[in-house]
Amino acid sequence: MRARRSKRYRKIMSSYQMSFSFREPYQVLLDSHFLKACHSFHMPLQKYVENTLHGKCNLFVTKCTLAKIMDAHQKQKERKAAGGGEGGKARGPGRPDFLPPPTEVPLRHCKHKNDEGEELGIVSEARCLLDLLAGQPRGNEHAKNKQHYVLATAEAEEREQHGRGFIDVRERARLIPGVPIVYVKRSVMILEELSGVSERAIKKVEREKFGEGLVGLASRKRKRGEGEDDEEEEGERDDEEQNGATAKIRGMRRAKGPNPLSVKKKKNKERVSQPAGGGGPVDAEAEPIRKRPTRRGGRRVAARRDATQQEQETAKEPSAVAEPKG
């Protein structure tokens, strides 16, 4: 890989890491076109994908992709058997050459459900991949690449492109924020730049973060709880509203009481209640100043010193006992 391209890809992946929480090993979904292209250009899958994404990768083929591949393979075998003059044998390898064994590219189980929650079983490859990439949204949920999948694809054959109900997976995947797309074109593996939707999602998060800086922590928690992703305008309006309400709170913690350092001590009162000179020596401030020097080396300090010495001695004792033994 050319150095400049490699550097660019590293940068792209780091923005997926920062903005969409992608982590190694990356989960890469390979489609049938990708497998075919890599096989025909003799590109080892694991090595090429890892070089492109600059990190460890787990490659997967979905159940629906496998079904499509095996179905096409079966039909091809039958066609050969029907049209072939070699005894009409339907014999051949159990799997097409371009499909790697499951030890190399394991199967990704996928359960597709419609909005009513009914299981759909095996669906078309494109639908399957887009369903997984969009985080299998229900109802009016927003598409979100929750599992952090990477899509690896290639151009479909022309016959398939013109076929009925053809869905361009790459084009549709660009509409889901945070989906890295790898594709093979003429023996080169390419990592697409972030799609417009992804860029917009990043900008929106950045704007929100900036807003939060002004608004404060409380609103950030509230917003996260709501988990609103795509309603930009509403979010902005929210920000403005909150600016008025919580701007004062920002960065300030209300003191629970007066500053203890600036408060006058209450001992004056005690002195008033106690007749001067009477009672025990409670504290130095209340006593006449001239008594202070005598206090310094007075009984209290001496008593405290005694106490600490005793403590030290008792602490030493066990070791003193243990030493002769050992």
Provide the binding-site residues for Zn ion, judged by CB under 5 A.
Answer: 62, 64, 110, 128
- As measured in angstroms, the least distance from the Cβ of 62 to Zn ion is 4
Among residues 124, 134, 119, the alpha carbon closest in space to that of 68 is found at: 124
| 3 state SS of 301 | helix
Nearer to Zn ion by Cβ, of 62 and 242: the residue is 62
The helix (H) or strand (E) run that includes residue 35 is helix 32-40
Nearer to Zn ion by Cβ, of 125 and 238: the residue is 125
The helix (H) or strand (E) run that includes residue 107 is strand 107-108
| 3 state SS of 3 | helix
- As measured in angstroms, the least distance from the Cβ of 63 to Zn ion is 5
Nearer to Zn ion by Cβ, of 131 and 208: the residue is 131
Nearer to Zn ion by Cβ, of 38 and 130: the residue is 130
The pair of structure tokens assigned to 165 is 């109900």
- As measured in angstroms, the least distance from the Cβ of 97 to Zn ion is 23
Nearer to Zn ion by Cβ, of 54 and 108: the residue is 108
Nearer to Zn ion by Cβ, of 19 and 62: the residue is 62
- As measured in angstroms, the least distance from the Cβ of 131 to Zn ion is 7
Nearer to Zn ion by Cβ, of 132 and 194: the residue is 132
- As measured in angstroms, the least distance from the Cβ of 67 to Zn ion is 8
| 3 state SS of 57 | strand
Q: Which residue is nearest to Zn ion (CB)?
A: 128
Backbone phi, psi, residue 307, to 5°: -60, -45
**Residue where the block lists tokens 């075998």:** 77
Contact residues for 90 (Cβ-Cβ < 8 A; gap 6+): 77, 78, 80, 81
Contact residues for 9 (Cβ-Cβ < 8 A; gap 6+): 1, 52, 53, 54, 191
Strand 181-185 and strand 188-191: the pairing is antiparallel
Based on its alpha-carbon atoms, the radius of gyration of the chain, rounded to whole angstroms, reads 37
- As measured in angstroms, the least distance from the Cβ of 29 to Zn ion is 10
- As measured in angstroms, the least distance from the Cβ of 68 to Zn ion is 10
